[in-house]
Structure 1
Amino acid sequence: MWAKTVTGNFAKVIHGLNANHLTDQVIQRSKRMILDTLGVGLLGTSTEVCHKVAQYSKIYSSDLSSTIWGHLDFRLPPVYAAFVNGVAVHSMDFDDTWHPATHPSGAVLPAVIALSEAFPQKKKISGLDLLLAFNVGIEVQGRLLHFSREARNIPRRFHPPAVVGTMGSAAACAKLLALDQQECKNALAIAASYAGAPLANAATQIKPLHVGNAAKHGLEAACLALQGLQGNKQILDEESGMGAFYTDYNPQTLPTLQSYPWLLEQQDVAIKRFPAHLATHWVADAASSVRRKLVQSSENLTPLDKIGKVILKVPEVRYVNRPSPASEHEARHSFQFVACSALLDGSMSVQSFASKNIHRPALRELLCKTQLEHPPDNTPSFDSLYCEVSVTLQDGNTITDRCTTFYGHWRKPLKKEDLEEKFQSNVLGILPTEAMEGIIETVYNLEKVEDCSVLSTFLSGQSARALPKKLRFF
């Protein structure tokens, strides 16, 4: 009888999905997501917040251990490896974004990679096993978000990865652990009690912990369910369950397993070209276009004393309205900062958020001339928002441009070569070239990999020479 509930239905689908359900498009899109997430996670290992949580997590020891990405010198128990690597993925707000809004990969991939290393030697996890678990985790997040119209807009109360990401991580790990339907329900119930983080911590060092905790808590929920821990069997059905996070929560059963219609098949993700809140990417493209019109020669921008004001027409999103950001985290969540940086430099990059660039006098001068406007037709949804940048000169002339779809958005996805360039740029200096190339080759051939521990070998910084010959497929 319990299978007729939404929670029971989810458990049945999580349990019943297998690799034959994966389509070529889902596999190809998820490979892109995996490669991008590994790159931004490896880059994030160099951040202060990642260093702090790594040091904190070192106090734990266990017979089981998993790789900390970019580190050959120490390992951690799986839940803490998932935590540290999850924090690394979101430490610069450089990870992928979906619609309805969440960061889907960072909550799931660190958990399934860490868990795959913890299996006994007799049970190897294949690349196809990893792909399936990853996609189950992505699917559960997407379905939960579609239970709420409120979730289709940029969030106001809870940071989505801390809510649906925790549930997706639990579902992915439940799949990898081969939990039965009853255990899957318990994993979801346990995860729901771990879920949730307020948006008030956006633009602080705490925000990356939301993704790290989602990965950690989802893995922990699945492991606790395997141990027999029990929770509410209708956690997805009840208003006091998952409904607690959304005022208009309306749960529905999932499609039948026959020719299962993956949401990732229907809706690609946005992959970022620079590390900042997704809404700022519209601003960057519009501002860069305006700059090209302002440039008087190949190198010189119109002098700042000739700029009277800068108007940004953007949706009303309070936590990305930061007129004078004081830190890299605030700058990543500032329409104003990204617009002014793009106007000054012509483009955005990782270096845009370095302290010397955040506090440069020219930027501060331009910020003082920048104002936001919120047109009523510009709704706060990643699927429909736009940005218009207007620069009015002292002589009265106005230069304007509008961006409705930036390069990297799901409607305008990155080309393969640009995705690889982003990955290589992120990993440069973190891993040796051989390990970097090994990750790319492994991810592109993941469905053929017999033992996905090869991926962890490369993530730790080792080369193909460290692999047993039977694992070298390239």
Structure 2
Amino acid sequence: MLLNGKWQLMLSSSIHPTQEEDPDQWCCTVSPVQCCLVAPPGHELLGPRALNVISNQHDWLFAALGKMAAHATQMSPFGLTENASAACTGNTEPSNRQRTNGWLGAGKQTITMSRAGQHSCPYPSYPFLPFPQLDLTLSSTPLSLAQLNTARSGSPCKAPSCSSATMSAVTRGLRTASKQLRVSRSSWLSVGRSASVGAAARVFATPSSTLRSNFSTSVTRHSGAPVMASQPREYDPEIKDIADYVANKAIDSDLAFDTARWILLDTLGCGLEGLRFKECTKLLGPIVPGTVVPNGTKVPGTPFVLDPVNGAFNIGAMIRWLDFNDCWLAAEWGHPSDNLGAILAVADWINRTNKAGGNLAGGKIYTVKDVLEAMIKAHEIQGCLALLNSFNKVGLDHVVLVKVASAAVVSKMLGLNEKQIADAVTQAWVDGQSLRTYRHSPNTMSRKSWAAGDACQRAVNLALKVMKGEQGVPTVLSAPTWGFYDVLFKGNKFQFQRPYGSYVMENVLFKVSYPAEFHSQTAVEASEKIFHQLKAMGKSAADIKAVTCRTHEACIRIIDKQFKPMDNFADRDHCIQYMCSVMLVFGRLEATDYTDGGEAATSELVESLRKKIKCVEDTQYTQDYHDPALRTISNALTVELNDGTVLDEVAVEAPLGHRLRREEAKPVILAKFKRHLEPHLSESRVKELVELSQNSSKLDNMSVDEYVDLYTVKESKFL
């Protein structure tokens, strides 16, 4: 019956065989007609194991409204549990429904089917798959209530509309539907059963005591493996663009390569600095202690030799630990140099393997310049996706972009072709994405420091699976209901500001002065100026009554935590009030100022001053933050003293390390690099690396494994 554009079906309390000896036809009462489920030629129905049961083998398909067939053994996308009616329409009281000898007792269920055949009943525990798109017209001679009372015993309906002519018309419609289903079967079975079988087993499993013992099990069997589509499917254009860029685009920007060299040394220096913190090093090393992988990835600053997947995690985690590497700020935030964890691990492993006689990527030996190009492309993919697409606003962490970018460039490094690169990228999108909750109150914790390492290892792992022949998921983004857009992005498609090139590397931000979340960099710089101003006045932070921080919206959303308790390192390095207070009190901000029990963390003056700093949004600052020509990260501080004096506002729009201040920053970046190497390497090795960093030709042509060897140690006092 068609009501308001939807088929309304009333499934009666009984579904039974027309004859016990006739297993190829079963009938049920369906308002407003009685329908029979007819097996295609050469097949048998398994019988009614109770309306609320689909067999544990999931070897039959029960589809109502004429779309009934039992020849599909791949999936079971239709069935009822005892609570199904409540989940659907709530028109049946469960207390009136009982199972008797495997049959569903009294009570009817209303199931809504769209005209195209899509199941619209919201079963939360079972991923229903859409039925094939069929147009079917059934005879719909109205039946009386008497017809709806057909009992389990199969007592015949005596109403006039139960005539053989009426039911024959229904049966003919069902047989027609069965033929149509057989014709279209190959196209919709290719969806596969892997996602549905486990859930269906949980939803529809019933104790064996409720099942009839004499049901036929002679339905034609099929493999449980997914049936692949007979025709290649088009990949989402967003996926194809990434694969084409990575596989075919040559990078010829001198500015991009120059910036990438500075990013390389700065990022490796940040990684070595991270090794000074036991919270980081406790997560590093082989999964099984003592394991040394032949020709494996070497981890800078350590004696570890690991497989490339774990190597990517180790390098990625140490790079990101202190939040001191580069930064990209747009609709989404992130740190594109996080991708170096995957890139360096794979390049080093490939080189060592090939030099030992292997043939990875056709035997290629990667140079540092190859790594720089991979970095430029990873920066570009992550950064361009971030320009107009906010993942944080849907609760996802930005490391999803690290995983996608790394999967793409690592696939190319492994020698995969354009299609395989696309496959790896789709696998990165279909992978479960990290929630951003570990960066925000009340759950701020150290996972935010190793999340990028986790993304790197996942990217490498997925690329290696594709190298072994694993296929991609062509419409992973756009697939209705099941794709990334519908599941995780509120149905919105990605927006793009520019094609992939080298824009992001050319405009990336360096964290030069302070190990602080980037939205606070200019505020901390302003605080340092105010510290010296107060000192010149003979005053200190103790004389401050209030501070107003004029800032941009992203700063408020991420690090404005005026009254939130500072429970750990992760809280402190993501609180603009804490970072400014430490600078105003001590005239410094270092990584050790975030540690539990440290001088800054236990300072009562820092804690009291933190609660006096109020952030307010300046809409112009927010506009400038998103302006492609500016991309400034502005903050302005106004300080009021206890005696009523109000100091002139100190505003800083572009931090040191911004493109507008790049040349000014380079000497400071080099000093930062040298400072980070010194606790780990000999004086001569530090000098060698600093000099090498300034000789671009020599650096570019050095093989990656030889370059990594310069950073490795036989033992480390920090491990």
Unaligned runs of 5+ in 1: 463-474
What is the aligned length? 448
* 1:466 paired residue number: none
Q: Which has the larger radius of gyration?
A: 2
CA displacement at 1:289 relative to structure 2: 2.1
Letter in 2 for 1:49: E
Question: CA separation of 1:61/1:229 partners in 2, compared to 1, >3 Å: closer, same or farther?
Answer: farther
Whole-angstrom CA distance in 2 between matches of 1:241 and 1:253: 23
* 1:329 paired residue number: 570
Letter in 2 for 1:396: G
CA displacement at 1:236 relative to structure 2: 5.2
Whole-angstrom CA distance in 2 between matches of 1:361 and 1:237: 53
1:131-142 equivalences in 2 (<5 Å): 131-142=372-383
* 2:599 paired residue number: 356
1:299-318 equivalences in 2 (<5 Å): 300-302=538-540, 304=542, 306-316=543-553, 317-318=556-557
% same residue: 18
- 2:338 corresponds, among 91, 97, 107, to 107
Question: CA separation of 1:433/1:339 partners in 2, compared to 1, >3 Å: closer, same or farther?
Answer: same
Contact 1:311 1:389 (8 Å CA) reproduced? yes
- 2:409 corresponds, among 134, 159, 172, to 172
Contact 2:235 2:475 (8 Å CA) reproduced? no
CA displacement at 1:190 relative to structure 2: 1.5
Matched, 1:182 2:419: yes
Whole-angstrom CA distance in 2 between matches of 1:135 and 1:204: 30
* 2:559 paired residue number: 320
Whole-angstrom CA distance in 1 between matches of 2:568 and 2:236: 50
Question: CA separation of 1:416/1:315 partners in 2, compared to 1, >3 Å: closer, same or farther?
Answer: closer
Whole-angstrom CA distance in 2 between matches of 1:245 and 1:440: 45
Unaligned runs of 5+ in 2: 1-232, 358-362, 715-719
CA displacement at 1:136 relative to structure 2: 1.9
Letter in 2 for 1:397: T
Whole-angstrom CA distance in 2 between matches of 1:165 and 1:252: 17
* 1:431 paired residue number: 681
Whole-angstrom CA distance in 2 between matches of 1:276 and 1:155: 22
Contact 2:380 2:501 (8 Å CA) reproduced? no
CA deviation map 1:62-92 (0-9, x unaligned): 44521122113x3221111110111111111
Whole-angstrom CA distance in 1 between matches of 2:610 and 2:263: 34
Question: CA separation of 1:139/1:418 partners in 2, compared to 1, >3 Å: closer, same or farther?
Answer: same
* 1:294 paired residue number: 534
Matched, 1:396 2:644: yes
Q: Secondary structure at the match of 1:412?
A: helix
1:62-101 equivalences in 2 (<5 Å): 62-72=293-303, 74-100=304-330, 101=332
Moved more, 102-111 or 174-183: 102-111
Q: Which has the higher contact order (CA 8 A, sep 6+)?
A: 1
Matched, 1:7 2:209: no
Moved more, 77-86 or 228-237: 228-237
Whole-angstrom CA distance in 2 between matches of 1:314 and 1:254: 27
Q: Secondary structure at the match of 1:312?
A: strand
* 1:457 paired residue number: 709
* 2:360 paired residue number: none
Question: CA separation of 1:44/1:142 partners in 2, compared to 1, >3 Å: closer, same or farther?
Answer: same
Q: Secondary structure at the match of 2:346?
A: helix
Whole-angstrom CA distance in 1 between matches of 2:419 and 2:609: 58
CA displacement at 1:266 relative to structure 2: 5.0
Q: Secondary structure at the match of 1:398?
A: coil
Contact 1:171 1:184 (8 Å CA) reproduced? yes
* 2:609 paired residue number: 366
Matched, 1:207 2:432: no
Contact 1:11 1:181 (8 Å CA) reproduced? yes
CA deviation map 1:95-128 (0-9, x unaligned): 1101324434443212121112222215321222
Moved more, 348-357 or 269-278: 348-357
CA displacement at 1:392 relative to structure 2: 1.1
TM-score by length of 1: 0.85
Whole-angstrom CA distance in 2 between matches of 1:4 and 1:377: 37
Q: Secondary structure at the match of 2:660?
A: coil
Whole-angstrom CA distance in 2 between matches of 1:404 and 1:253: 23
Moved more, 404-413 or 162-171: 404-413
Question: CA separation of 1:17/1:32 partners in 2, compared to 1, >3 Å: closer, same or farther?
Answer: same
Q: Secondary structure at the match of 1:22?
A: coil
Contact 2:551 2:618 (8 Å CA) reproduced? yes
CA displacement at 1:278 relative to structure 2: 0.6
* 1:338 paired residue number: 579
More helix by proportion, 1 or 2? 1
CA displacement at 1:9 relative to structure 2: 3.0
- 2:668 corresponds, among 379, 396, 418, to 418
CA displacement at 1:404 relative to structure 2: 1.6
Question: CA separation of 1:237/1:49 partners in 2, compared to 1, >3 Å: closer, same or farther?
Answer: farther
CA deviation map 1:214-260 (0-9, x unaligned): 211111121111111112123455575453554543356985xxxx8
Letter in 2 for 1:249: K
Letter in 1 for 2:454: N
Whole-angstrom CA distance in 2 between matches of 1:293 and 1:215: 44
CA deviation map 1:420-472 (0-9, x unaligned): 1011112221222333334344444366324211121012138xxxxxxxxxx
Letter in 2 for 1:117: D
Contact 2:320 2:338 (8 Å CA) reproduced? no
- What RMSD in Å do the two structures reach over aligned CA positions? 2.8
CA displacement at 1:384 relative to structure 2: 4.5
Q: Secondary structure at the match of 2:640?
A: strand
Moved more, 403-412 or 236-245: 236-245
Whole-angstrom CA distance in 2 between matches of 1:156 and 1:424: 40
Whole-angstrom CA distance in 1 between matches of 2:334 and 2:684: 29
CA deviation map 1:356-411 (0-9, x unaligned): 22212221232243333334544394734422222211221111322222222233
Whole-angstrom CA distance in 1 between matches of 2:618 and 2:254: 41
Moved more, 436-445 or 215-224: 436-445
Moved more, 6-15 or 108-117: 6-15
Contact 2:406 2:459 (8 Å CA) reproduced? yes
